[in-house]
Amino acid sequence: MKKISRFKENSYNTTNDFDYLDQLEKYYNSSLGTNVEKLQNFSKYVPRQDLTNFIAKYELFKKILEVPGSIIECGVLFGGGLMTFAQLSAIFEHTNFIRKIIGFDTFTGFPKLSKIDKLSKSPQAKKGSFAIDSYSDLMKSISLYNSNRFLNHIDKVELIKGNAEKTIPKYVKNNPQTIISLLYLDFVLYKPTKIALEYFIPLMPKGSIIAFNLLDDAHWPSVSKALHDVIGVSDLKLQKFNFSPYTQYVIL
Ligand SMILES: C[S@@+](CC[C@H](N)C(=O)[O-])C[C@H]1O[C@@H](n2cnc3c(N)ncnc32)[C@H](O)[C@@H]1O
């Protein structure tokens, strides 16, 4: 059995899960149609779990549609999540040229792990994990996306490359106009998550949302720990969607 998906490896997965991904790869390659036709029929191929994540992002987006401010994704990886928010903005608020979709990533994977990160139960918890240099690929994706949206002479999606422990303070200093409607935290490491919370929360109005992937999960204890250390949970109304075990959020 070939392990098709490099980032799905954790103790929750069974052999069946990997078999399914193997079969899916084969099916996609041999399936009817051009690549574009396959994409236009994406529900034939996309794993249920990834559709679930997509729907969770749609549900989050609907909640901030009338809240001004940028959407920030902390931890971009291949960019599917970032571009989901970009597409939703283009579909549901095509004249809202003010809202930016901003992604922070090293684009070289995890820089280093803190003591708390090392308590992780994930095989991915090591320096250099998630090292996907998607920057130039994503720039092409953004350019194509721009060619198919309204008001495309005004930039919408921004990628901030580098260690977020440095790029977040720098971004906030250089962009004093910033207000944030949705902060999607998916660095899964302690220090950058803590810095994101410390620097971005003061820029978030009432009604804006902080969303987490992997809160309360022993694979990534740092996500909860950063939240405990910066704002604590006792006064937060943390919520989740009944269809997804992962995405948790708080409406400020
Ligand atoms: C779990 S992945 C993100 C998954 C992505 N949000 C998705 O939906 O597919 C974690 C990402 O955080 C990035 N990352 C972790 N620590 C970082 C740091 N200190 N600065 C910038 N990026 C970081 C990694 O490079 C990696 O791409």
Overall number of domains in the chain: 2
Same domain, 217 and 236: yes
C-alpha 248 to ligand 1 mean position (Å): 17
Same domain, 152 and 246: yes
Same domain, 161 and 36: no
Answer yes or no: is 128 within a domain: yes
C-alpha 33 to ligand 1 mean position (Å): 33
Q: If you average pLDDT over every residue of the chain, what do you get?
A: 95
pLDDT tops 70 at residue 3? no
In Å, the largest CA–CA distance within the chain is 52
Answer yes or no: is 2 within a domain: no
Reading the block at residue 58, the tokens are 């749609």
Cα angle vertex 139, ends 222, 171, to 5°? 50
Same domain, 87 and 38: no
Answer yes or no: is 5 within a domain: no
Same domain, 149 and 215: yes
Question: What confidence score (pLDDT) does residue 12 get?
Answer: 81
Ramachandran region, residue 222 (left: φ > 0; alpha: ψ -120 to 50; beta: rest): alpha
Answer yes or no: is 3 within a domain: no
Helix (H, G, I), strand (E, B) or coil at 250: strand
Q: pLDDT-based confidence at 1, cuts 50/70/90?
A: very low
Nearest CA to ligand 1 atom 22: 105
The model's pLDDT over 153-176, given as tens digits with 9 standing for 90+, comes to: 999 999 999 999 999 999 999 999
Mean pLDDT of 111-127: 93
The model's pLDDT over 37-49, given as tens digits with 9 standing for 90+, comes to: 999 999 999 999 9
pLDDT tops 50 at residue 149? yes
Give the DSSP H or E segment for 26.
helix 15-30
Q: pLDDT-based confidence at 94, cuts 50/70/90?
A: very high
Domain containing 38 equals 14-45
- The backbone torsions φ and ψ at residue 91, rounded to the nearest 5 degrees and listed phi first, read -80, -50
Burial label for 74, CB within 10 Å (0-12, 13-18, 19+), is buried
Q: Does ligand 1 lie within 6 Å of residue 113's CB atom?
A: no
Same domain, 53 and 40: no
C-alpha 224 to ligand 1 mean position (Å): 16
Answer yes or no: is 197 within a domain: yes
Same domain, 19 and 63: no
Q: What atom of ligand 1 comes closest to residue 109's alpha carbon?
A: 25
Q: Does ligand 1 lie within 6 Å of residue 106's CB atom?
A: yes
Any idea which of 13-22, 103-112, 189-198 has the lowest mean pLDDT? 13-22
Same domain, 29 and 127: no
Output the domain CATH number for residue 61.
3.40.50.150
Answer yes or no: is 9 within a domain: no
pTM above 0.75, yes or no: yes
The model's pLDDT over 236-249, given as tens digits with 9 standing for 90+, comes to: 999 999 999 999 99
Same domain, 38 and 80: no
Mean pLDDT of 171-192: 98
Q: pLDDT-based confidence at 5, cuts 50/70/90?
A: low
Q: Does ligand 1 lie within 6 Å of residue 75's CB atom?
A: yes
Which of 8, 10, 76 is the pocket-test mutation for ligand 1 (most atoms within 8 Å of CB)?
76
Answer yes or no: is 6 within a domain: no
Cα angle vertex 25, ends 22, 84, to 5°? 115
Same domain, 18 and 129: no
Please list the alpha-helical segments (H only) found in the chain. Answer: 15-30, 35-40, 48-64, 80-92, 135-146, 164-174, 190-200, 221-230
Answer yes or no: is 23 within a domain: yes
C-alpha 77 to ligand 1 mean position (Å): 6
Q: Which residue has the higher pLDDT, 82 or 214?
A: 82
